[in-house]
Structure 1
Amino acid sequence: PAPVEPADGAPSGSEPGVVPLPLSGKSPEALRDQAERLLLTLSEGPGSRPLDLGYSLATTRSAFDHRAVVLATDHADAVRALTAIAAGAPDAAAVVGRTRTGRHAILFSGQGSQRLGMGRGLYGRFPVFAGALDEVVDGLDAELPGQV
């Protein structure tokens, strides 16, 4: 069963194991500069919660074409990965890239993995579901030839 949130809407108190720290900049240099500024912020307040930092970065910053995300499990991970981004170096806890133009798709995964074969059962029993799934698969085949 899913965890039950308190009636007042407050989180249950458990911290996630990994917190994404998103960054963006108008150029690769600007992205590295933002990583440096964030490093300064972390060095001034090592007691800050990664969850609060990730939330603030995701909800209060502009999203530019050059992007990075640090997947921080703790303060040391965040510092190491941000140092790498600032230096233009790779790090296992950081992904750096640039947005691409084109069409987008959103996949809401989850509902169905609770029971093995659930999707197959829905496909066999409900023609509307089967038709919609076939349409999605055809679209993916057209956009990602040889990859699905």
Structure 2
Amino acid sequence: ARTWPDADRPRRAAVSSFGISGTNAHTVLEQAPQEPEQDQEQGPAEERRALPAVPLVLSGRGSDAVRDQAARLLAHWEAAPELALLDVAHAAATGRAALDNRAVVVAADRETALTGLAAAVRDGAPGHTSGRVAFLFSGQGSQRTGMGRELYETFPVYAEAFDAACAHLDTRLDRPVREVVFGEDAELLNRTEYTQAALFAVEVA
């Protein structure tokens, strides 16, 4: 171990590894570029979208590993109450590998998240079962006016997928699907041609 002072150029280090089996590796590591600090010339930081709830994703190799991850996250967050729910959820979803056993805590605020993590510590994750993924779409009868509107207004990815589905369906219908789904005319939505199209668009999104 040694100090690695800043210089007028990116810092670099060479690593050579010689394996007993004859496998050799030679790597040069370079310091990552520094991200520019936010200033007034760059404009304001991107505004955070208010979300009604976010998922805290936990995963591990076995239920005990999931419990352990939940316990460590719970202890860390209790020791650092200033951490924002959205930041913790983002780090949990993008900063770790997605392993076989999983648990998800859905929370609207920090207190709900801590309660859910405590439950995950107690309960762990269900046993992993291998198999293929299937998607089940609900059929006619589950439609309602305004369905998916809050998702559309809150999640840009959902809105994009919904609009893409509607663009294809609208070529076959007399009224735009989005107009029917987000409208107040339940009788129109209950007509089979609109019901089926609306459920398909919502469930795909």
TM range (shorter): 0.5 to 0.7
Q: Tell me, yes or no, if structure 1 residue 48 matches structure 2 residue 79.
A: no
* CA distance in structure 1 between the aligned counterparts of 2:86 and 2:136, rounded to whole angstroms: 25
Q: Which one of the candidate residues 45, 52, 74 is aligned to 1:39?
A: 74
Computed over aligned residues only, the root mean square deviation of the Cα atoms, in angstroms, reads 3.4
What secondary structure is seen at the aligned counterpart in 1 of 2:180?
Answer: coil
Q: Residue 18 and residue 102 in structure 1: after superposition, are their counterparts in 2 closer, same or farther (change >3 A)?
A: same
Q: Which one of the candidate residues 27, 48, 66 is aligned to 2:101?
A: 66
**TM-score normalised by the chain length of structure 2:** 0.45
* CA distance in structure 2 between the aligned counterparts of 1:65 and 1:114, rounded to whole angstroms: 41
Number of aligned pairs?
Answer: 112
| Aligned positions of 1:1-148 closer than 5 A | 11-88=46-123, 96-97=125-126, 98=128, 100-105=130-135, 110=162, 111=166, 112-116=177-181, 117=189, 120=193
- 1:39 is displaced (CA, Å) by 0.5
What secondary structure is seen at the aligned counterpart in 1 of 2:75?
Answer: helix
Residue 20 of structure 2: aligned partner: none
Greater relative contact order (Cα < 8 A, sep 6+): 1
Residue 184 of structure 2: aligned partner: none
Q: Residue 114 and residue 34 in structure 1: after superposition, are their counterparts in 2 closer, same or farther (change >3 A)?
A: farther
Q: Which amino acid aligns with 1:30?
A: A
* CA distance in structure 2 between the aligned counterparts of 1:82 and 1:99, rounded to whole angstroms: 23
Whether the 8 Å CA contact 1:67–1:99 is kept in 2: the answer is no
Whether the 8 Å CA contact 1:15–1:51 is kept in 2: the answer is no
* CA distance in structure 2 between the aligned counterparts of 1:16 and 1:70, rounded to whole angstroms: 15
* CA distance in structure 2 between the aligned counterparts of 1:46 and 1:27, rounded to whole angstroms: 29
- Identical aligned pairs, as a percentage? 30
Q: Which amino acid aligns with 1:21?
A: L
- 1:40 is displaced (CA, Å) by 1.0
